[in-house]
A and B are shown apart, each in its own frame.
Chain A
């Protein structure tokens, strides 16, 4: 439908006067800026993804916490925390933390990068599946916060002087940054771009 577009926030169908394409229009219902596609979506998403991918390394390599128990200290990275859960026989919880903290952020970064690359290549293959993939990573991203929440609980509970203490480590800050960046990356991505290169039936 030429001359009309839906508000990306409230879905109101708005008419765009001829020649006003690209001008700044506001939705008459929710006052959001009206765009046929989110402006600069690809560049913004790439920038946020790159930052997240870089920070993903220290988030996994640096310790996220130090547990001191009866005078002995151990520093845990996300992975060593998972390994410990496996070693103490709690492999279900270990698997949960592994999937949520290590796999999910990586999957989110890789999937969004894949979607951006296929858009750049003007791919017309499987747009439906690619859109579903986007909805999936948008939804599962939040679960990567499990480890950070667990950390905040341990830090508050285990403050028993010389008996036992838990302190956060620099990895935790990097990990929090990865979570924030990937949430913004997913919301700056415009899934309508996936459909812009369908062969012929525009």
Chain B
């Protein structure tokens, strides 16, 4: 495959409607919108990389807590049982529902973990001004992983399960539940403090002409 060369990056193409337009200058904290369809093109944020790095690190710690402790305990006629994400996955696999188990493992453990780890690496590179040749392809793959990370939906799933079981037994929410709650807040904030364009601007081009 040939590498394409690049014209000066003073123009952008809208990802929603394909309209080419001059890349607008925006003040910190302001967003740029497409002239044709009003889609948000990017947002200019101050000190985004440092903040995103700190939040991503916090999210990784919370993810570890969330995976290695129980998120609820269940008491029924004197018997009590704790539960982690992985318990449900293993039980489904054991009962012969491997595809469903795999989907749950990917959306609640693997995709969030890989996304956070990858983002941490990318942000460290950007923070220290490094741009190894794999940085661009890595970040592209991380972006395509995003639709598969569904932790916030899982949290709602826990909620519905608690309501359903509440009639049968005593349910107590435990450490991991609160860790998930904090994780979702922190991970959302990590995405919000930094525009992906800021990262892309720091990735060195590997084409024949370098940065145009």
A residues contacting B by CB (< 8 A) are 1, 4-6, 8-16, 20, 23-34, 69, 85, 88, 90, 93, 96-97, 100, 127-128, 131, 135, 138, 141-143, 145-150, 152-160, 163-164, 167-168, 172-173, 176-177, 179-180, 183, 186-187, 191-192, 194-196
Contact = CB atoms under 8 A, between A and B. Distances in A.
A9 B7 contact: no
B139 A146 contact: no
A172 B100 contact: yes
Given A6-B13, A28-B4, A145 B92 contact: no
Question: Could you say which interface size class chain B belongs to?
Answer: 35 or more
17 contacts: A4-B11, A9-B143, A11-B197, A14-B5, A25-B3, A26-B2, A33-B1, A90-B163, A127-B17, A128-B38, A146-B153, A152-B92, A153-B83, A157-B83, A160-B79, A160-B81, A195-B17
A26 B161 contact: no
Nearest to A168: B97
Given A11-B13, A29-B200, A93-B163, A145 B153 contact: yes
Interface string B1-45: 111111101011101111110000000000000001111000000
A28 B206 contact: yes
Interface stretch (B49-57, B59-67, B102-110, B113-121): B102-110
A16 B164 contact: no
B178 interface: no
Contact of A150 (B15, B100, B101, B161): B161
B205 interface: yes
A96 B163 CA distance: 12
Contacts of A149: 104, 108, 150, 153-154, 156-158, 161
A96 B38 CA distance: 31
A1 B8 CA distance: 13
Contact of B18 (A20, A25, A26, A192): A192
B128 interface: no
A13 B205 contact: no
A32 B19 CA distance: 20
B103 A179 contact: yes
A135 B16 contact: yes
A56 B158 CA distance: 24
A90 B83 CA distance: 24
